[in-house]
Amino acid sequence: MKKICVVGVGYVGLVTGACFADLGNSVIALDVDEERIENLKKGILPIYEPGLEELVERNVRSGRLTFTTSYKEAVDGTEFAFIAVGTPSGVNGEADLQYVASAATSIAETMTGPMIIINKSTVPVGTGDWVADIVKRAQPEPVDFWVVSCPEFLREGSAIGDFMSPHRTVLGSLHHEAAEKVAQLHLPLRAPIVITDLRTAEMIKYASNAFLATKISFINEVANICEALGADVKEVAVGMGYDKRIGPMFLDAGLGWGGSCFPKDVLALAYMAEEKGLNPRILNSVMDINYERRKEAVALIEAMTEGVNGKTIGLLGLAFKPNTDDMRDAASVDIAQELTAAGAKVRAFDPVAMDVAGALLPAVEMCPDPYTMSQGCDALMVITEWNEFKQLDLEKIKGLLNSPVIFDGRNIYEPAVMSAMGFKYRGMGRGFNGR
């Protein structure tokens, strides 16, 4: 059992803290947001993540997981301090590290004994060295510490599973023994552990996310070619995925990626390259293709409805992906705003994200369920592939719509089935497939 503190109880920090507690460690989770901490002490979580409420409750009850806003309390006697604060994009796309600096400074000012400081947040290559300088300068008295990079590979909606069964744990440090100690924390996960230097570990994270984003933009470009040539990209992806060198995952064509990671991480990696005078052509194209998807979707629904002005359009799903309430860079925001600007009345239903989305989309009418929303709509758009949309009573939906028009931004329906039911249906990349 080790004493661990986690700074930042967002999507990454709260999952990290709760999982380390569940492995038997004593974890104290800190945040500067007092309301967030007060709520957590009452069992109210700041985010929706499947399974997290029960995991937090169980570990709080066992006394392994506690919450505080006091760095002194969090750091006292702690051997490991994970920094999991936000690293949002700055104005030019660079990662904004002010919160990392603030966390590192506060740890340095309060640490009482030797400590391993671990960057869990996604930070630009070279940040580990920078954090070490901050800590050294901020310490009132020199106290031994070592910096380790331990990037997170958590997907929202499956974060607990991703933590407990990682494909690999990546550790980077200039001090091998410090990395080895952090490796010990991860042994119960029984996954491969890659130990390298700080910069390489930081780069593994960016390169991994940028590759996954590239895979998605690749299949989205193929989707447009499929559409033009009469092939079904969904089946193309199946045929490709059996090749072990390609793999079946992250080949779902549609509205593309959003969230708090891919957008920020691809942008940051391109920025790091350009800072060094390089031209990240692929990364820039990956971003261009991705954000075009949202414009293409609006153009398609405009064509399907012969103009959205004065029409009512219903959005099925708002969150950037299923099983989360996270609206950060969600495609729904751009699409809803463009439709409203084009004179449409926009309605929406999302099983989880409507509270968060309401603040971002005040002009959108939030509806209690897909059927109520469909009543009187001129068209529907599938924006987020929540499971509950996959078996909707489409006959009932058809009867509620003014006109049977569905744009499927996540290709959850089959073109042949939809046309047989009398829908005017468009997916993204669903050429022919009349079978």
- Whole-number Å distance between alpha carbons of 382 and 363: 19
DSSP type of residue 95:
B
Pick from 3, 155, 176, 398 the residue near ligand UDX by CB under 6 A: 155
Which of 258, 404 has the CB closer to ligand UDX? 258
Residue number with the smallest Cβ distance to ligand UDX: 10
Pick from 59, 173, 209, 305 the residue near ligand UDX by CB under 6 A: 209
Question: 226 an active-site residue?
Answer: no
Segment contacting ligand UDX (CB under 6 A): 131-139, 178-186, 255-263, 373-381? 255-263
Kindly state whether residue 9 participates in binding ligand UDX, applying the rule CB under 6 A.
yes
Contact 246, 218 (CB under 8 A): no
DSSP type of residue 155:
P
End-to-end CA distance of the chain: 59
Kindly state whether residue 102 participates in binding ligand UDX, applying the rule CB under 6 A.
yes
Pick from 124, 128, 172, 258 the residue near ligand UDX by CB under 6 A: 258
Kindly state whether residue 212 participates in binding ligand UDX, applying the rule CB under 6 A.
yes
Residue ranges in 80-158 assigned as alpha helix (H): 98-110, 127-138
Which of 296, 378 has the CB closer to ligand UDX? 296
φ and ψ of 23, to 5 deg: -85, 0
Which of 227, 378 has the CB closer to ligand UDX? 227
Tokens of 36: 């967030």
**Nearest by Cα to 186 from 202, 168, 161, 200:** 168
Neighbours of 310 (CB within 10 A): 11
Helix (H) or strand (E) holding 15: helix 11-22
Which of 289, 346 has the CB closer to ligand UDX? 289
The whole-angstrom distance between residue 67's C-alpha and the CA centroid of its chain comes to 24
Segment contacting ligand UDX (CB under 6 A): 79-87, 111-119, 178-186, 352-360? 79-87
Q: Output the smallest distance, CB 250 to ligand UDX, in A.
A: 4
Residues 307-336 that bind ligand UDX (CB under 6 A): 320-321
Residue 400 makes CB contacts below 8 A (sequence gap 6+) with 371, 374, 375, 376, 377
Kindly state whether residue 11 participates in binding ligand UDX, applying the rule CB under 6 A.
yes
Kindly state whether residue 122 participates in binding ligand UDX, applying the rule CB under 6 A.
yes
Query: Residues 5, 150, 261, 367: which is the catalytic one?
Result: 261
Tokens of 110: 């309060």
Give the bridge partners for 349, in sequence order: 316
Kindly state whether residue 85 participates in binding ligand UDX, applying the rule CB under 6 A.
yes
Q: Output the smallest distance, CB 36 to ligand UDX, in A.
A: 6
Give the bridge partners for 80, in sequence order: 4, 116
Pick from 2, 53, 196, 250 the residue near ligand UDX by CB under 6 A: 250
Which of 87, 374 has the CB closer to ligand UDX? 87
Kindly state whether residue 119 participates in binding ligand UDX, applying the rule CB under 6 A.
no
**Nearest by Cα to 198 from 129, 114, 260, 115:** 129
DSSP type of residue 158:
S
Q: Output the smallest distance, CB 164 to ligand UDX, in A.
A: 14
Segment contacting ligand UDX (CB under 6 A): 31-39, 74-82, 108-116, 374-382? 31-39
Burial degree of 61 (CB within 10 A; 0-12, 13-18, 19+): exposed
Burial degree of 401 (CB within 10 A; 0-12, 13-18, 19+): buried
Segment contacting ligand UDX (CB under 6 A): 181-189, 253-261, 370-378, 399-407? 253-261
Kindly state whether residue 256 participates in binding ligand UDX, applying the rule CB under 6 A.
yes
Residues annotated as catalytic (active site), given as ranges: 261
Binding site for ligand UDX (CB under 6 A): 7-13, 31-33, 36, 84-87, 99, 102-103, 121-122, 152-156, 209, 212, 216, 250-252, 254, 256-262, 320-321
